[in-house]
Chain A
Amino acid sequence: DAMVIQNPRYQVTQFGKPVTLSCSQTLNHNVMYWYQQKSSQAPKLLFHYYDKDFNNEADTPDNFQSRRPNTSFCFLDIRSPGLGDAAMYLCATSTVAGETQYFGPGTRLLVL
């Protein structure tokens, strides 16, 4: 089945230790998104790619970076995680920007 896959589902890291979260899709969608969601809050868009065109949200901290080496894969790099970065990180895709988004199951990040 076509889907959005996120690995790992749970990630524990230490304060300040770089961590990478991955997302892959078999939907062949042009657009990929990364969201941060903290407990009982709305998903907050960090950045998105339209093909290889990278779009960063103005309030996304510099500590967060992203790579999209090909259509299928997208990575979220957190260079120096702080306690405030503990959250669920959601990857999503869409065929056309602004239309229906298909979400992965999320990666829950814990920072010790």
Chain B
Amino acid sequence: SQQGEEDPQALSIQEGENATMNCSYKTSINNLQWYRQNSGRGLVHLILIRSNEREKHSGRLRVTLDTSKKSSSLLITASRAADTASYFCAKELNFGNEKLTFGTGTRLTIIP
């Protein structure tokens, strides 16, 4: 499968703690994106990181990309109850592919 894996599959932490999710992939990518999905809803784009970038920030979110290890991580700092959701990484596998391949997701639960 070209999907790669996300790790962990599920994560429960106390409110205020940091949450880290990881995504691996198997072939070269043009970009990697992270999306959030609240239960029963559509996906919301969080961050896009390109293959020549190593780190990006957006508010409480930090994404890193290590192309040598074919992996990415999403860090959510100072978690809130509203961060409870599923988080997916999606890869554009090579330039001009025109589509994204989604990982299996991490289910994050923030305990108030």
Contact = CB atoms under 8 A, between A and B. Distances in A.
Interface string A83-94: 000001010100
Contact of A103 (B44, B92, B98): B44
Contacts of A92: 42-43
Sorting the interface of chain A by its residue count into under 10, 10 to 19, 20 to 34 or 35 or more gives 20 to 34
Given A42-B3, A106-B41, A100 B99 contact: no
Contacts, number: 67
Contacts of B88: 42-43
Sorting the interface of chain B by its residue count into under 10, 10 to 19, 20 to 34 or 35 or more gives 20 to 34
A82 interface: no
B98 A55 contact: yes
Given A42-B103, A99-B48, 8 more contacts: A40-B107, A45-B101, A90-B42, A97-B99, A101-B43, A101-B100, A103-B42, A105-B42
